[in-house]
Amino acid sequence: MRPCIRLPSLHGRTRDRPAPELNKQPILEVLARVLPPRGLVLEIGSGTGKHVAHFAKALPALTFQPSEMDVERHASIEAWASAGNLSNVKPPFAIDVTKRPWPVSAADAVVCINVIHISPWEATRALMAGAARILPAGGVLVTYGPYMRGGAHTSQSNESFDASLRARNPLWGVRDIDKVAEVAGNEGFALQEAVPMPANNFTLVWRKSNGASAGARELIDG
Protein backbone atom coordinates (compact mmCIF):
# COMPACT_ATOMS: atom_id res chain seq x y z
CA MET A 1 0.00 0.00 0.00
CA ARG A 2 1.37 3.38 -0.95
CA PRO A 3 2.06 5.83 1.88
CA CYS A 4 -0.30 8.75 2.42
CA ILE A 5 0.76 12.17 1.20
CA ARG A 6 -0.22 15.06 3.46
CA LEU A 7 -1.12 18.32 1.78
CA PRO A 8 0.36 21.35 3.59
CA SER A 9 -1.98 23.75 1.77
CA LEU A 10 -4.81 22.40 3.94
CA HIS A 11 -2.86 22.69 7.18
CA GLY A 12 -1.59 19.11 7.03
CA ARG A 13 -4.97 17.63 7.87
CA THR A 14 -5.93 16.13 4.52
CA ARG A 15 -4.52 12.91 3.18
CA ASP A 16 -4.19 12.04 -0.47
CA ARG A 17 -3.50 8.92 -2.51
CA PRO A 18 -2.86 8.48 -6.24
CA ALA A 19 -5.78 6.08 -6.85
CA PRO A 20 -8.66 8.47 -6.06
CA GLU A 21 -7.27 11.03 -8.48
CA LEU A 22 -7.31 8.39 -11.23
CA ASN A 23 -10.78 6.98 -10.62
CA LYS A 24 -12.83 9.74 -8.99
CA GLN A 25 -14.15 11.22 -12.26
CA PRO A 26 -15.05 7.88 -13.93
CA ILE A 27 -16.89 6.82 -10.78
CA LEU A 28 -18.66 10.18 -10.60
CA GLU A 29 -19.88 9.79 -14.17
CA VAL A 30 -21.66 6.58 -13.14
CA LEU A 31 -23.01 8.09 -9.92
CA ALA A 32 -24.41 11.10 -11.75
CA ARG A 33 -26.52 8.71 -13.84
CA VAL A 34 -27.72 6.27 -11.18
CA LEU A 35 -28.04 8.18 -7.90
CA PRO A 36 -31.40 9.78 -7.06
CA PRO A 37 -31.71 13.52 -7.81
CA ARG A 38 -31.80 14.33 -4.07
CA GLY A 39 -31.62 12.58 -0.73
CA LEU A 40 -28.99 11.02 1.56
CA VAL A 41 -26.07 9.02 0.18
CA LEU A 42 -24.19 6.86 2.69
CA GLU A 43 -20.58 6.14 1.77
CA ILE A 44 -19.08 3.03 3.35
CA GLY A 45 -15.30 3.28 3.74
CA SER A 46 -14.62 6.91 2.84
CA GLY A 47 -10.85 6.62 3.29
CA THR A 48 -9.18 10.02 3.06
CA GLY A 49 -12.39 11.77 2.00
CA LYS A 50 -11.19 12.81 -1.44
CA HIS A 51 -13.87 10.80 -3.23
CA VAL A 52 -16.80 12.07 -1.19
CA ALA A 53 -15.65 15.68 -1.58
CA HIS A 54 -15.44 15.28 -5.35
CA PHE A 55 -18.87 13.69 -5.55
CA ALA A 56 -20.51 16.21 -3.22
CA LYS A 57 -19.16 19.17 -5.16
CA ALA A 58 -20.51 17.80 -8.44
CA LEU A 59 -23.89 16.71 -6.97
CA PRO A 60 -24.91 19.54 -4.64
CA ALA A 61 -28.58 18.47 -4.42
CA LEU A 62 -27.51 15.29 -2.60
CA THR A 63 -26.36 15.05 1.02
CA PHE A 64 -23.40 12.73 1.63
CA GLN A 65 -22.74 10.85 4.86
CA PRO A 66 -19.12 9.61 4.92
CA SER A 67 -18.07 6.76 7.18
CA GLU A 68 -14.64 5.32 7.94
CA MET A 69 -13.53 2.66 10.44
CA ASP A 70 -10.09 4.26 10.77
CA VAL A 71 -10.99 7.23 12.97
CA GLU A 72 -7.57 8.78 12.32
CA ARG A 73 -8.81 9.53 8.80
CA HIS A 74 -11.86 11.48 9.99
CA ALA A 75 -9.89 14.73 10.19
CA SER A 76 -8.85 14.28 6.56
CA ILE A 77 -12.45 13.68 5.46
CA GLU A 78 -13.56 16.83 7.27
CA ALA A 79 -10.66 18.81 5.80
CA TRP A 80 -11.53 17.83 2.20
CA ALA A 81 -15.15 18.90 2.81
CA SER A 82 -14.01 22.14 4.42
CA ALA A 83 -11.58 22.92 1.60
CA GLY A 84 -14.43 22.65 -0.89
CA ASN A 85 -16.87 24.64 1.29
CA LEU A 86 -19.20 21.66 1.04
CA SER A 87 -22.25 22.06 3.23
CA ASN A 88 -23.72 18.82 1.84
CA VAL A 89 -21.11 16.56 3.51
CA LYS A 90 -21.99 15.46 7.02
CA PRO A 91 -19.35 14.78 9.70
CA PRO A 92 -17.91 11.28 9.32
CA PHE A 93 -18.54 8.46 11.75
CA ALA A 94 -17.13 4.96 12.19
CA ILE A 95 -19.24 2.08 10.95
CA ASP A 96 -18.58 -1.66 11.15
CA VAL A 97 -20.87 -3.20 8.54
CA THR A 98 -20.88 -6.52 10.39
CA LYS A 99 -22.44 -4.99 13.51
CA ARG A 100 -26.14 -4.22 13.73
CA PRO A 101 -27.77 -1.81 13.76
CA TRP A 102 -25.81 0.56 11.58
CA PRO A 103 -25.58 4.13 12.94
CA VAL A 104 -27.85 5.32 10.11
CA SER A 105 -31.36 3.91 9.85
CA ALA A 106 -32.24 5.04 6.33
CA ALA A 107 -30.53 6.28 3.17
CA ASP A 108 -31.53 6.89 -0.42
CA ALA A 109 -28.34 5.35 -1.84
CA VAL A 110 -25.17 3.61 -0.64
CA VAL A 111 -21.70 3.92 -2.19
CA CYS A 112 -18.81 1.60 -1.28
CA ILE A 113 -15.42 2.10 -2.93
CA ASN A 114 -12.41 -0.23 -2.56
CA VAL A 115 -13.74 -2.16 0.44
CA ILE A 116 -14.91 -5.58 -0.73
CA HIS A 117 -11.44 -6.87 -1.66
CA ILE A 118 -9.71 -5.62 1.53
CA SER A 119 -12.17 -7.08 3.99
CA PRO A 120 -13.33 -10.61 4.91
CA TRP A 121 -16.07 -12.19 2.82
CA GLU A 122 -18.40 -11.80 5.80
CA ALA A 123 -18.14 -8.04 5.34
CA THR A 124 -19.55 -8.34 1.80
CA ARG A 125 -22.48 -10.36 3.14
CA ALA A 126 -23.03 -7.76 5.86
CA LEU A 127 -22.76 -4.88 3.38
CA MET A 128 -25.53 -6.33 1.22
CA ALA A 129 -27.74 -7.16 4.20
CA GLY A 130 -27.23 -3.76 5.81
CA ALA A 131 -27.81 -1.83 2.61
CA ALA A 132 -30.99 -3.80 1.99
CA ARG A 133 -32.28 -2.78 5.43
CA ILE A 134 -31.72 0.96 5.01
CA LEU A 135 -32.51 1.46 1.32
CA PRO A 136 -36.02 1.92 -0.07
CA ALA A 137 -37.41 -0.27 -2.84
CA GLY A 138 -35.59 0.75 -6.00
CA GLY A 139 -32.69 2.15 -3.99
CA VAL A 140 -29.22 1.88 -5.46
CA LEU A 141 -25.99 0.44 -4.04
CA VAL A 142 -22.79 1.22 -5.96
CA THR A 143 -19.58 -0.74 -5.35
CA TYR A 144 -16.19 -0.18 -6.95
CA GLY A 145 -12.95 -2.14 -7.09
CA PRO A 146 -11.16 -5.03 -8.81
CA TYR A 147 -13.28 -8.10 -9.54
CA MET A 148 -12.92 -11.50 -11.14
CA ARG A 149 -15.33 -12.56 -13.88
CA GLY A 150 -16.42 -16.15 -14.39
CA GLY A 151 -13.81 -17.35 -11.90
CA ALA A 152 -10.92 -15.70 -13.77
CA HIS A 153 -8.95 -12.52 -13.23
CA THR A 154 -9.44 -9.82 -15.83
CA SER A 155 -5.73 -8.96 -15.97
CA GLN A 156 -2.32 -10.19 -14.85
CA SER A 157 -1.98 -7.15 -12.59
CA ASN A 158 -5.21 -8.05 -10.80
CA GLU A 159 -4.01 -11.61 -10.32
CA SER A 160 -0.79 -10.33 -8.77
CA PHE A 161 -2.73 -7.88 -6.63
CA ASP A 162 -4.99 -10.69 -5.43
CA ALA A 163 -1.95 -12.74 -4.40
CA SER A 164 -0.49 -9.79 -2.50
CA LEU A 165 -3.78 -9.20 -0.68
CA ARG A 166 -4.05 -12.84 0.40
CA ALA A 167 -0.42 -12.81 1.55
CA ARG A 168 -1.22 -9.86 3.82
CA ASN A 169 -4.46 -11.37 5.07
CA PRO A 170 -5.85 -14.73 3.91
CA LEU A 171 -9.39 -13.42 4.46
CA TRP A 172 -8.91 -10.69 1.85
CA GLY A 173 -8.88 -11.06 -1.93
CA VAL A 174 -10.35 -10.02 -5.27
CA ARG A 175 -13.92 -11.32 -5.40
CA ASP A 176 -15.80 -12.83 -8.31
CA ILE A 177 -18.71 -10.73 -9.58
CA ASP A 178 -20.92 -13.82 -9.85
CA LYS A 179 -20.36 -14.73 -6.20
CA VAL A 180 -21.01 -11.16 -5.08
CA ALA A 181 -24.17 -11.15 -7.21
CA GLU A 182 -25.35 -14.34 -5.53
CA VAL A 183 -24.99 -12.76 -2.08
CA ALA A 184 -26.60 -9.54 -3.30
CA GLY A 185 -29.49 -11.46 -4.84
CA ASN A 186 -30.21 -13.14 -1.53
CA GLU A 187 -30.78 -9.65 -0.09
CA GLY A 188 -33.00 -8.46 -2.94
CA PHE A 189 -30.41 -6.69 -5.11
CA ALA A 190 -30.10 -7.13 -8.86
CA LEU A 191 -26.93 -6.25 -10.75
CA GLN A 192 -27.89 -3.61 -13.30
CA GLU A 193 -24.52 -2.56 -14.65
CA ALA A 194 -20.88 -3.64 -14.57
CA VAL A 195 -19.02 -0.60 -15.86
CA PRO A 196 -15.32 -1.01 -16.80
CA MET A 197 -13.07 1.48 -15.04
CA PRO A 198 -9.40 2.50 -15.25
CA ALA A 199 -6.74 0.06 -13.96
CA ASN A 200 -8.89 -3.03 -14.68
CA ASN A 201 -11.53 -2.19 -12.08
CA PHE A 202 -15.33 -2.13 -12.26
CA THR A 203 -18.11 0.02 -10.90
CA LEU A 204 -21.06 -2.24 -10.11
CA VAL A 205 -24.56 -0.82 -9.87
CA TRP A 206 -26.98 -2.82 -7.70
CA ARG A 207 -30.67 -2.00 -7.52
CA LYS A 208 -32.91 -3.09 -4.67
CA SER A 209 -35.90 -4.76 -6.23
CA ASN A 210 -39.14 -6.41 -5.20
CA GLY A 211 -37.89 -9.82 -6.19
CA ALA A 212 -37.84 -9.25 -9.93
CA SER A 213 -34.49 -9.69 -11.67
CA ALA A 214 -33.32 -6.57 -13.44
CA GLY A 215 -30.67 -8.40 -15.47
CA ALA A 216 -27.08 -7.26 -15.79
CA ARG A 217 -26.03 -4.84 -18.50
CA GLU A 218 -22.39 -4.10 -19.22
CA LEU A 219 -21.33 -0.70 -20.50
CA ILE A 220 -18.23 -0.46 -22.63
CA ASP A 221 -16.00 2.61 -22.26
CA GLY A 222 -16.09 5.10 -25.11
pTM over 0.95, yes/no = no
Give the pLDDT band of residue 20 (cuts 50, 70, 90).
Answer: low
Q: What is the pLDDT of residues 106-147, one digit of tens each?
A: 999 999 999 999 999 999 999 999 999 999 999 999 999 999
DSSP sequence for the chain? -PPPEE-GGGTT--EE-HHHHHHHHHHHHHHHHHS-SSEEEEEE--TTSHHHHHHHHH-TTEEEEEB-S-GGGHHHHHHHHHHTT-TTBPPPB---TTSSS-S-S--SEEEEES-GGGS-HHHHHHHHHHHHHHSPTT-EEEEEE-EEBTTB-SSHHHHHHHHHHHHH-TT--PEEHHHHHHHHHHTTEEEEEEEEEGGGEEEEEEEE-SS-----EEPPP-
Q: Does residue 181 have a pLDDT over 50? A: yes
Look over the chain and give the mean of its residue pLDDT values, rounded to a whole number. 89
CATH number listed for the domain at residues 5-218: 3.40.50.150
Domain boundaries, the chain: 5-218
